[in-house]
Amino acid sequence: MAAFEPALPLAVAYSGGADSTALLLACAEKWPRQVQAIHIHHGVQAAADDFERHCQAVCAQLEVPLTVTRVDGRHAPGQSPEDAARRARYQAFEALAIDEDAHKTLKSIAIAQHADDQVETLLLALSRGAGLAGLSAMPSSWVRGGICYHRPWLRVSGADIRAWLAGRGVAYIEDPSNVNQQFTRNRIRARLLPALQATFPQFRDTFARSAAHAAQAQALLLELAVQDLALIGTPPVIAKLQRLSRARQANVLRHWLNTAFDTVPSAAQLAELLDQLDACRTRAHQIRIKVGAGFIERSGVALHWYNCSVLL
């Protein structure tokens, strides 16, 4: 916390669990009367109302203002429950940021994810064959929707956080979903982290360094993608794309799809697209490949992405 100096006033994402309770307490002590708590009621678990009441009681004890926002955290078919909850949380944060009454106080939000969460994120990325963006894991700070988010504890283990909290006399709740090994992240926490601790005691630090190296390399790829997209145009002109190396084509196309359409191609989809680009040497050559929720098609001299729901 010593090096954590966010813009004030600060909001803390507060679930009522040990990690967010410790973060709220540490921030409230460091910046008295400049901290508020935000509790997102996902409406998924039966105990969600109890979580809310607990957060209200703790915030009253700490004399910290609390905002409770209710969201629909249910996941869509094919979507993971964790991803659905995460998206709902950030949408709620952004809605609060533009709220007429709250916008002056929601410029910075601190989130209690820690070193164990970072390791779990990196292992999940490795298991999925992720590229540099995935291997970069979670950034310590970033801006989204006009809000600066912070994760000040990415170098602190969950055990150290709980040890610090144990001596403070502040109650917290145990979310039963955190021990449900139906979720991959919980299986990693229960089975892999103890094995890593026994085999590589410094794994949290070394994994964090690897993620930082990946993030630095990804930042360079992003800079190159921005430059290349300016050269090939939006939408991308096929002839200009073909002047780039295959690796740069892949990099700029990923960037275009992600920034323009919030769509990420799979490795197989991108490889097929690059093969078809290489073969596209005549005006009559057609390109049509499914990517994400839509299709990339050739239209004239350029590539276009169309949403399936729009085409229907």
Which residues contact residue 162 at a Cβ distance below 8 angstroms, ignoring those fewer than 6 apart? 18, 22
Parse the chain into domains and list their residue ranges: 10-203, 233-311
pLDDT value at 307 more than 60: yes
Amino acid at 100: E
Backbone phi, psi, residue 37, to 5°: -115, 145
H-only helix segments in the chain: 18-30, 48-62, 81-97, 115-127, 132-135, 158-166, 184-187, 193-199, 203-232, 238-241, 246-261, 267-279, 308-311
Query: pLDDT tens for residues 142-170?
Result: 998 788 999 999 999 999 999 999 988 88
Query: What is the pLDDT, as a whole number, of residue 224?
Result: 98
* Mean pLDDT estimate for the chain: 89
Helix, strand, coil abundance in the chain, percent, nearest 5:
50, 15, 35
- Which percentage of the chain shows pLDDT scores above 70? 91
pLDDT grade, residue 101 (50/70/90)? low
Q: What is the mean pLDDT of residues 262-278?
A: 93
Query: pLDDT tens for residues 233-269?
Result: 999 999 999 999 999 999 999 999 999 998 989 999 9
pTM recorded for the entire structure: 0.86
Q: What is the CA radius of gyration of the chain?
A: 22
Query: pLDDT tens for residues 60-85?
Result: 999 999 999 887 766 666 656 677 77
Distance of alpha carbon 166 from alpha carbon 250, whole angstroms:
50
10-203 and 233-311 share one fold: no
Task: Read off the tokens for 93.
Answer: 């944060």
Distance of alpha carbon 210 from alpha carbon 216, whole angstroms:
10
Query: What is the pLDDT, as a whole number, of residue 234?
Result: 95
Query: pLDDT tens for residues 206-231?
Result: 999 999 999 999 999 999 999 999 99
Q: What is the mean pLDDT of residues 101-112?
A: 74
Helices (H), strands (E): how many in the chain?
A: 13, 9
Query: What is the pLDDT, as a whole number, of residue 100?
Result: 47
Distance of alpha carbon 103 from alpha carbon 54, whole angstroms:
26
Class of domain 10-203: alpha beta
Query: What is the pLDDT, as a whole number, of residue 122?
Result: 96
- Which percentage of the chain shows pLDDT scores above 90? 72
Q: What is the CATH number of domain 233-311?
A: 3.30.465
Backbone phi, psi, residue 244, to 5°: -90, 160
Query: pLDDT tens for residues 28-46?
Result: 999 999 999 999 987 767 7
Query: What is the pLDDT, as a whole number, of residue 311?
Result: 46
pLDDT value at 102 more than 70: no
Query: pLDDT tens for residues 175-201?
Result: 877 778 888 999 999 999 999 999 999
Separation in Å, CA 198 to CA 163, 195, 201: 20, 5, 6
